């Protein structure tokens, strides 16, 4: 037996003794009631902590206090007792060496272990009266760091299910999950077990990649796992071919890159006009393209893990650029409502379409205007004041175009100039057709005669534009503006076709004539 003074603060921090003193003072100032109670401080204890079992609502004139480890209060369960009259403390059979009893009836357990878990009973004696109260003390262990295991770390998108489990399994522990640092979304594809320890993902998608974190909690501690990421296999998605450009000039570089979203990255292959190519990378490269490289280019992508294959097609057109045309006019100054005028688009290109422009806008034909079958010849008969302005013709070949310099038509009211007769207009048309035939022959000569030339470096010359002989008074006088530099190619061939079709009703008069 020993007195309370024998219990010093051996090996304890100063603040522990101060806390004990405060608790004792609080206990002594608490109002009494008829119900004896036990309070744990702190309410939840973990292994290695100190716990106070405070006795509240003690009766007056108490003879002694008896603490038991158990509910029966038998002699073998006695932890310690304190007799007030003799100021004597007695340690019982259940004393572990870590318990201290105080004169106010409280019990201090130092450095608790799981062995201290259980029910504690306090008996208070007073004359022939004994009061008792029992309360259960739970000792929570410090939680270890959790970790996540997966039933399938490499699931296939839209096919596989995945079960994620938070380990280890610990009793009286709360499990929580998060994905991408957020709480789990409300989804019918996510299922939790009753204890929240297991998370089931139904038919995973690439959005389910993660990272996932599981958290364990008990009254003593909270621990979080390292992030866990799923390697979801998916794709390939339908590939795209870049750049978007589809039209090229001969001699340029053709560099196409195919890209498809896929995990893992897919295998690439190429087809040109349905024939397999040696290119097995994302990039297809042709350094010096020619007209023969026009065709259908197909990129194939294949994911060996998902077994899926996708493809996409791109049409490449390679075409020569168009030469700059010019306009030949029967007159540039005409009398309103009396004269007619003939405008001729001069070009040596073949296999082309022709558009006419008026004041930098599309020329919309009126009932006084007529085009030849190939749209090279524009006739206005008679000319009116609203026809005055700048005229241009544009040559189109696939996606490229070239526009002539403007020719200005002036309309006056002076009647000193007579108009063209129907015979004169017919003569002009016949002369133009003869010129075009001669020009076409010259082009063919330039194209095919080049091979038979000697290697003296002879330069080629384009045929000079025809200059009709001046006719009698009142006949046509042709004006030919100097051709300027070729305008930039029109980037969208389809737009040109749409314009051509809607303005003149035909797409390619040369093709129509051939058919």
- pLDDT tens profile 394-434: 998 766 788 999 999 999 986 554 545 555 555 655 655 56
**Alpha-carbon gap, residue 53 to 39, rounded angstroms:** 6
Flag whether the pTM goes above 0.75: no
409: nearest Cα among 381, 385, 375: 385
**Alpha-carbon gap, residue 170 to 142, rounded angstroms:** 11
Confidence (pLDDT) at 430: 63
pLDDT above 90: percentage of residues in the chain: 54
Q: Are 178 and 212 in contact (CB under 8 A)?
A: yes
- pLDDT tens profile 343-363: 999 988 877 899 999 999 999
Ramachandran sector of residue 24 (left: φ over 0; alpha: ψ -120 to 50; beta: rest) = alpha
Q: Residue 127 above 60 pLDDT?
A: yes
Instruction: Collect all residues with Cβ–Cβ distance below 8 Å to 255 and sequence separation of at least 6.
Output: 283, 284, 285, 286
Confidence (pLDDT) at 129: 83
Average pLDDT of every residue of the chain:
79
In 3-state terms, what secondary structure has residue 9? coil
Q: Which two tokens stand for residue 47?
A: 């292994």
Confidence (pLDDT) at 322: 77
Instruction: Collect all residues with Cβ–Cβ distance below 8 Å to 275 and sequence separation of at least 6.
Output: none
Q: Which two tokens stand for residue 141?
A: 């262990």
**Alpha-carbon gap, residue 491 to 361, rounded angstroms:** 18
Answer with the residue of higher pLDDT: 22 or 404: 404
Q: Residue 108 above 90 pLDDT?
A: yes
Mean pLDDT of 236-258: 92
pLDDT bin (cut points 50, 70, 90) of residue 489 is very low
Q: Residue 376 above 90 pLDDT?
A: yes
pLDDT bin (cut points 50, 70, 90) of residue 482 is very low
Question: What is the DSSP secondary-structure string of 284-352?
Answer: EEESS--GGG-EEEEEEEE-TTT--EEEEEEEEEE-PPPPPPEEEES-SEEETTT--EEEEEE----S-
pLDDT above 70: percentage of residues in the chain: 73
Q: Which two tokens stand for residue 487?
A: 């305008």
Mean pLDDT of 257-273: 95
Answer with the residue of higher pLDDT: 9 or 354: 354
48: nearest Cα among 114, 118, 103: 114
Instruction: Collect all residues with Cβ–Cβ distance below 8 Å to 361 and sequence separation of at least 6.
Output: none
Q: Which domains does the chain have, with CATH numbers?
A: 4-140 (2.60.40.10), 147-224 (2.60.40.10), 240-318 (2.60.40.10), 326-448+462-514 (2.60.40.10)
Q: Which two tokens stand for residue 374?
A: 């190939």
pLDDT bin (cut points 50, 70, 90) of residue 60 is confident
Answer with the residue of higher pLDDT: 401 or 105: 105
Q: Residue 190 above 90 pLDDT?
A: yes
Q: Residue 111 above 50 pLDDT?
A: yes
- pLDDT tens profile 300-343: 999 999 999 999 999 998 887 778 899 999 999 999 999 999 99
Q: Which two tokens stand for residue 156?
A: 């296939």
325: nearest Cα among 462, 468, 448, 430: 462
Confidence (pLDDT) at 7: 41
Confidence (pLDDT) at 400: 76
Question: What is the DSSP secondary-structure string of 269-281?
Answer: EEEETTEE-S--S
Confidence (pLDDT) at 429: 56
**Alpha-carbon gap, residue 202 to 159, rounded angstroms:** 9
Least confident of 57-66, 151-160, 449-458: 449-458
């Amino acid at each position: 037996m020993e007195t309370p003074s024998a219990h010093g603060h051996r090996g304890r921090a100063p603040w522990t003794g101060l806390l004990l003193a405060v608790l004792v003072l609080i206990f002594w100032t608490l109002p009494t009631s008829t119900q004896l109670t036990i309070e744990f401080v702190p309410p939840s204890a973990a292994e290695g902590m100190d716990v106070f079992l405070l006795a509240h609502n003690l009766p007056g004139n108490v003879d002694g206090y008896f603490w038991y480890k158990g509910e029966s209060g038998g002699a073998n369960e006695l932890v310690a007792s304190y007799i007030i009259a003799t100021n004597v403390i007695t340690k019982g059979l259940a004393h572990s060496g870590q318990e201290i009893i105080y004169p106010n009836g409280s019990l201090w357990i130092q450095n608790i272990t799981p062995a201290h878990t259980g029910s504690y009973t306090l008996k208070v004696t007073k004359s022939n009266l004994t009061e008792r109260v029992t309360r259960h003390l739970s000792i929570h262990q410090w939680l270890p760091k959790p970790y996540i295991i997966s039933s399938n770390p490499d699931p296939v998108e839209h096919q596989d299910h995945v079960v994620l489990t938070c380990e280890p399994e610990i009793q009286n522990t709360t499990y929580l999950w998060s994905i991408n640092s957020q709480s789990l979304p409300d989804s019918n594809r996510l299922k939790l077990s009753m204890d929240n320890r297991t998370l089931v993902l139904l038919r995973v998608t690439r959005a389910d990649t993660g990272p996932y974190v599981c958290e364990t909690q008990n009254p003593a501690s909270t621990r979080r796992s390292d992030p866990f990421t799923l390697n979801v296999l998916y794709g390939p998605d339908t590939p795209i071919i870049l750049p978007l450009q589809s039209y090229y000039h001969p001699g340029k570089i053709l560099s196409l890159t195919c890209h498809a979203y896929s995990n893992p990255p897919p295998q690439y292959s190429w087809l040109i006009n349905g024939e397999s190519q040696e290119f097995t990378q994302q990039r297809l490269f042709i350094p010096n393209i020619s007209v023969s490289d026009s065709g259908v280019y197909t990129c194939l992508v294949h994911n060996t893990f998902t077994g899926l294959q996708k493809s996409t097609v791109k049409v490449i057109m390679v075409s020569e650029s168009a030469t700059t045309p010019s306009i030949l006019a029967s007159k540039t100054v005409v009398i309103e409502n009396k004269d007619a005028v003939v405008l001729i688009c001069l070009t040596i290109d073949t296999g082309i379409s022709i558009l006419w422009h008026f004041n930098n806008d599309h020329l919309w034909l009126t009932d006084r205007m007529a085009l030849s079958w190939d749209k090279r010849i524009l006739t206005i008969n008679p000319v009116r004041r609203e026809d005055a302005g700048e005229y241009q013709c544009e040559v189109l070949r696939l996606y490229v175009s070239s526009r002539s310099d403007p020719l200005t038509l002036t309309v006056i009211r002076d009647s000193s100039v007579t108009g063209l007769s129907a015979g004169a207009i017919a003569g002009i048309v016949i002369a133009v057709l003869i010129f075009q035939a001669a020009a076409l022959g010259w082009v063919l000569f330039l194209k095919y005669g080049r091979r038979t030339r000697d290697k003296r470096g002879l330069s080629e010359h384009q045929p000079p534009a025809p200059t009709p002989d001046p006719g009698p008074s009142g006949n046509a006088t042709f004006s030919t503006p100097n051709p300027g530099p070729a305008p930039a190619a029109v980037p969208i061939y389809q737009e040109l076709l749409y314009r051509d079709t809607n303005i003149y009703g035909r797409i390619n008069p040369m093709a129509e004539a051939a058919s």
